[in-house]
Structure 1
Amino acid sequence: MKPIQLWLPAVSGGAARSARQRDIQRLHAAWDGHDIMWTKPGWNGPEAWAQEGAKVGCISGEEIECFRILHIDGCGRVCGPASALFDELPIDAILDTWLNAEVEAVQSTVGTEVELSVPTVVEGGVAYLPENVVTQAGGRYPFRRVDAIQRVTTAQWPPSKNEPHPVSPQSEAFEPAANESESAFSLRLRWSTPLAAAMPEFPSEDDLFARDQMRSFLEQGKDGIEAARRSASVAARAWLKDGQSTVNSAWFKPMIAVEGEQEALFAIETQFDAVFGSLKDAYRDERLIKELRKPMGVQGALGIPGVAWAFMLDRLSEGRSERLCERCGQPITGKADKRFCSEVDNKECFRSRKRSDRRRARQVT
């Protein structure tokens, strides 16, 4: 797996809105080892400052947004702000978790003001002060069916099969034609746990659209894996981009965060033939620092949908639309090297395999 630099948004979801795309380009151009980056209209404060050991930056942008920048190495180890979120959301299971997640749509009023703590220039530096932000979540979706007895309304996008194929439901549903209809309502999405904690305050319909696209491509892959991979690569472009980090951020820091100091020092010895008694000593060595500062190619991923796209493209590139149990042939979830059903995947297959293992163990003894 290629190392991933994850830009995890805290405020809004989605990838296709024009203003968001422009702000993301500005952020990538300004990133210089930051752990957290903000965009804020009219920002005239410092480019970066230290906050509880993290490097935080802010640039002038078109929307207020906060990105936590995390690093995921080739073995799935995660480090960076908000990395604790992945204690309950294992990286090696994130694609299957994403594909199977439940989403609740609730009515929302577009343009509602919410109060957020955002960087503000004050005398002597930067402070986080409350500021009212107009939400961008929730386009307006025409009613498809109304059940007056059950008090349930069904909406869809696009409004009819004759409409253009959707690219960004959120942006398209903001168009005047949709807003003029009284037989429409705004939506706000709520994701189920454990995804909910890693999703922004205002998830986008584009996030949900991305999940459904992935489901469709995996189903398509059963009939033609290469065609599915090509189509998925095009759909993922808004969420993934080739980027560049450093050996320190993309490889060494995730190892320290997950494996600890001794394993990291052993890796340094193996990789660079250099022995140190502590990380403090290692970071004082000029030759090692030069190695750790070397550029390293990464895959930039926007939010949880971006990480899911990265793992799905890996799966399709391996020539499979899903992983199957070697015993019963049913789909399985979990770690990439997993070969058989767990009790969650298929209880009967799991128990049957355990019985076989016990029989073999008795025969050996």
Structure 2
Amino acid sequence: MNDTPPPVLVTGAAGFIGAYVCRALRARGEAVVGLDNFNAYYDPRLKHDRVAALCPDVEIRALDLGDRDGLAGLFEEFGFVRVVNLAAQAGVRYSLTHPHDYVDSNLAGFVNLLELCRHRHVEHLVYASSSSVYGDSATPPFSEDQRIDKPRSLYAATKAANELMGYTYAQLYGLRATGLRFFTVYGPWGRPDMAPLLFSRAVLAGRPIEVFNNGRMRRDFTWIDDIVAGVLAALDHPPPACVNGIPPHRVFNLGNHTPVELERFIEVIEQAAGREARKVYKPMQPGDMVETMADTVRAREALGFEPRTSIEAGLPRVVDWCRDYFGEHA
């Protein structure tokens, strides 16, 4: 009889957070199987290089959550009982021009996964939500108890829908599920469409950067290692079974609880790059939020979540990585 526990399934395993989660799970001795569709939202070469650098010993299947048969076959093959779902079509602005990608991946794909978790008796599903769900309904610091019914983008709407779907499956079928609202995650091997890499690469190369809302923005930038610690802690602490009619579903903010002025953020990049940024000030972009700030009391009390990395410590490492990976003039 084989007493070896089944591997953890990590979807979106070639993505920024996914690859780091795979690495962290392997570092503590877990067996891991990854899934990723390696789509072209940004250069797939970066995804392959990321996997090779961070988790080369993890098997990652090229598979889309929309492939019901392929997904069912993967569950049949490995018998997963713990799932970390980080696969999603990301990006606020991209959702304004490619809405169907978000419906296919974030809604239909998530239902496919929920159905398999339900029928295969998965013990715990951890899934990615986003700070974007707060939209115009909440005021900083954003608390999990605040409303999320006024999203500013379709991306945000799909993430809020994921939370409702996760709750529904917990209520109807007892599926233990935990949603994690990530707040602007950054670090080496990050997404090239996000400000930390966009600005770092541009400043290194002497290209102008677009500063939206004329710089009057604040973001709760959260270091990748702090986020990964929160993901693993969430995985290790599934919600209790249904008690007194409360479904086994929880949502946590994972953020740094320290919003940073956009101009200060740029200043730290300038210092690390050793040159000034060429700033082009622009009005607010549709779908963007002026400020994000996480109330992390719930995550601290339930998961021991304690982010410790400031942008002064983290951003120079991003600039150094950009210099090494893309070159000074990339």
TM-score normalised by the chain length of structure 1:
0.24
The structure richer in strand per residue is 1
Higher percent of residues as helix: 2
Q: TM-score by structure 2 length?
A: 0.26
